[in-house]
Amino acid sequence: MIPVSAEKMAEIDERARSEFGIKQSYLMERAGIAVAEAVLSAMDPSRMAGISVLCGTGNNGGDGFVAARHLKGRFQGDLLLFAPPEQKVRPGAALQNFKKTVSEGIAVNDLAAFLENPSDHLLVDALLGTGFSGAMTGLYADIAEKANLSGAEIYSVDVPSGLNATTGDVPGECFKARSTVTFGLPKTGFYSGKGPRMCGEIIVADIGFPKKLIEDFL
């Protein structure tokens, strides 16, 4: 598969909605399910005390909320969800999935509380998506540093948070993933700069982008 820049992927996403009538909520549901499936197919439940899902405020966080819901029903260990407060989550599909997750009985812990979380949890990184550029700082940077030092297996949603999905640059902290579950097409930054070291195994999931639309970018 031919990798694309973050800008091209944003164009695919926009055209899927504007030209093909595909709702963001549908793509988000499919993305979250793909992440949950990747985690469940690779993990050894007998060695895993729990799963921690780290969600940001945008659509990447929305994917994480969906993943948490689907993991909850199929994983017998502890499932912990860390996210910003509801009022900071982006209105639209991300906020809808935040509310749906809460309504299904999953408690939302403040992101800062992750810094005290046991290190033997598998981690799902859904903090920042492909649109992020620059250096990850503040709480997110502290969380990435803690996660990497913990030795936990990390599954990143679409792109490891802190990695420039187009260039592969990492000017600050960045999650070092065991696997990156990306959507539609791989991103150019996965194969340049520090991308190969940060992405780990790259899993390209089909979340429902029309074949004709994807072919326009191949």
H, E, C per residue of the chain: CCCECHHHHHHHHHHHHHCCCCCHHHHHHHHHHHHHHHHHHHCCHHHCCEEEEEECCCHHHHHHHHHHHHHHCCCCCEEEEEECCHHHCCCCHHHHHHHHHHHCCCCEEEHHHHHHCCCCEEEEEECCCCCCCCCCCHHHHHHHHHHHHHCCCEEEECCCCCCCCCCCCCCCCCCCCCEEEEECCCEHHHHCCCHHHHHCEEEEECCCCCHHHHHCCC
pLDDT higher at 43 or 130: 130
- Domain annotation covers residue 146: yes
- The verdict on residue 42 lying in a domain is yes
Number of domains in the chain: 1
Q: Is position 94 within any domain?
A: yes
Query: What per-residue confidence (pLDDT) applies to 48?
Result: 64
**Does residue 188 belong to any structural domain of this protein?**
yes
pLDDT band, residue 46 (cuts 50/70/90):
low
Q: Are 126 and 144 in contact (CB under 8 A)?
A: no
Residue 1 lies in a domain: no
pLDDT > 70? residue 114: yes
Q: Is residue 41 part of a domain?
A: yes
Structure tokens at 169: 């640059």
Domain that holds residue 45: 6-215
Asked if 115 and 142 count as a contact pair (C-beta separation under 8 A), the reply is yes
Could you read off the pLDDT of 50-91 as tens digits, one per residue?
A: 899 999 999 999 999 999 999 998 887 789 999 999 999 999
pLDDT at 78: 85
Average pLDDT, the chain: 93
Scan for tokens 């993933």, then name that residue. Answer: 177
Amino acid at 194: K
Residues 117-134 have a mean pLDDT of 88
135: domain CATH number?
3.40.50.10260
